[in-house]
Copies of this chain bind each other. A is one copy, B any other.
């Protein structure tokens, strides 16, 4: 079932490991078939070295396993909340990549200090509010997703323009039109987080780039007026 989606999600997970965003069993990537309402996701607690395409688990939007012999990722409920609320998203990634995680642990949004960041994220990357004890005691992984969605609703953020969030005290989640793009955003988020940390190390009073420059860079790569690259057929 869903052989291609599984294959794609398998490679997205492997890329997390290859790009050094995830060691041991950490991190997970998923992709969704919107028409069928089927999510393909990494199995729980499996080392990347042991992962095979056929081990990718299929679940529906209620979290019920549809196909696969293994338990799905313990973070599956978080992915589902994101797929439900962000209806154009086709892939979701969670990592503990060190620099992005450090910002999540510091519970601070990631400022946009430069065009590297602006090329992918249209403004500062938000950080969620720390979960309450009741939320942690409840359906923890689903609450993690709900806190992200709540943050985006309150701040008026569009998931298409801000494909990343820092989960307070935990780590980053990223997304994209498919699992591969979500991984790419996870890689760039880690790099932007690293550069921002160093920028503040050099100058504590560092300032975000002007809104005009932010728009210029984001929009030269995204949306109808984009002119970066060779056009869709080449990407």
Contact = CB atoms under 8 A, between A and B. Distances in A.
Interface of A: 23-26, 43-46, 70-71, 74, 96, 98-99, 101-108, 113-116, 130-131, 133, 136-137, 140, 169-171, 184, 187-188, 191, 194-203, 206-207, 209-210, 212-213, 216, 220, 227-230, 234-235
A70 B197 contact: no
Contacts of A103: 202
15 contacts: A24-B184, A25-B229, A44-B228, A70-B234, A71-B229, A74-B220, A96-B116, A98-B194, A102-B201, A106-B199, A106-B206, A107-B207, A113-B169, A136-B213, A136-B216
Given A107-B203, A108-B202, A114-B104, A133 B99 contact: no
Given A113-B169, A229-B25, A230-B46, A102 B213 contact: no
A130 B44 contact: no
A197 B202 contact: yes
Contacts of A230: 43-46, 70-71
Contacts of A194: 98
Contacts of A96: 115-116
A181 to B, nearest CB: 12
Contacts of A114: 101, 104-105, 169-171
B116 A195 contact: no
